[in-house]
Amino acid sequence: MRLHDLKFSGAAGDHTIRVYDWGDTENPEALVCVHGLTRNARDFDAIAQALSREFRVICPDIAGRGESDWLADPQCYNYETYIGDMSLVITHFGLKQVNWLGTSMGGLIGMMLASTPESPIRRLILNDIGPWIPKAALQRIAGYLLTPKAFTDLADVEAYFRDVHAPFGPLSDEEWAHLAHHGARQMPNGSWRLKYDPAIADPFRNGVEDDADLWEIWDGVRCPVLALRGRESDVLLGETASQMQERGPKARIIEFANIGHAPALMATSQIEIIANWLDS
């Protein structure tokens, strides 16, 4: 694994994006993996290690998360910024086409980018996200995002993750420890904080009044799509997944039992499903 700190400027101001780069740098077959709202690129360590024999796997920390810079203006935490940064990441590595795997927010970024003219995305994998998100799910996310969090130690962080992210699925002790280790940092006073800028919650501070309707964007996607769904998910509902099979790019849907939002994609069986679809 190689580390890159890419310096960008523009409407969002000067900021650095951390990118984790796996596999052969000469391999033209690239897989870009983008994490969810409060998560970071290290969520994809297992899948990156497994697929780096076949793909160059590129895993960025979105601005305000992980080891990437926090933005000076919280209003710039938006999809325009994220799409612009990810487009620059792809350009930086000289990639003409990429496969895209996005969990939740990362999937929305991919879907939006895939709907643009001359999109670099040739195949799109959406992990528990689609073009319609119910208001109730957005309100649930806002609830934990807007609650300040401080932890006494890393074990406290892990206990929090096991509770809040229980829908990720039945993870091993080692996997929960991995998420906690890479998902928090120790502060000068000895406490621990989650590894994201609290200002990413600003869009939720005025409340959530409507469902998120992105069907028009979905209908503009032209590449093949695999949509993964936790069968207990409140974000990607079963009826939404069914509609995704019938319109736009007509996704292939695969569901995971006893999992909600969102499958962790650490299990060998889940990784094999992704690998087989990319090879098909």
Of 31-40, 102-111, 134-143, the least confident: 134-143
Q: Which amino acid is at 53?
A: R
In the predicted model, what is the mean pLDDT of residues 240-265? 98
**CA-angle at 138, arms to 10 and 209, nearest 5°:** 95
Instruction: Please give the Cα distance from 167 to 259 (Å, whole number).
Output: 5
Q: How far apart are CA 68 and CA 93, in angstroms?
A: 18
Please name which of 237, 243, 240 lies closest in space to residue 260, comparing C-alpha atoms. Answer: 237
Give mean pLDDT, residues 42-57. Answer: 98
pLDDT of the residue at 277: 98
Q: What is the CATH number of domain 2-133+213-279?
A: 3.40.50.1820
pTM, full prediction: 0.97
pLDDT band at 208 (very low <50, low <70, confident <90, very high): confident
* Cα angle, residue 110 at apex, residues 199 and 217 outer, rounded to 5°: 100
* Whether residue 148 has pLDDT greater than 80: no
CA neighbor of 175 nearest in space, from 270, 62, 265, 67:
265
pLDDT one-digit tens code per residue, 102-119: 999 999 999 999 999 999
Mean pLDDT over each residue of the chain, to the nearest integer: 96
Torsion of CA 35, 250, 260, 45, to 10 degrees: -30
Residue 211 predicted with pLDDT over 80: yes
| 147 pLDDT more than 90 | no
> What pLDDT, on a 0 to 100 scale, did the predictor assign at position 162?
97
Contact 46, 265 (CB under 8 A): yes
For residue 238, what pLDDT band results from cuts at 50, 70 and 90? very high
Write out pLDDT tens, residues 160-193: 999 999 999 999 999 999 999 999 999 999 999 9
Confidence band for 222, pLDDT divided at 50, 70 and 90: very high
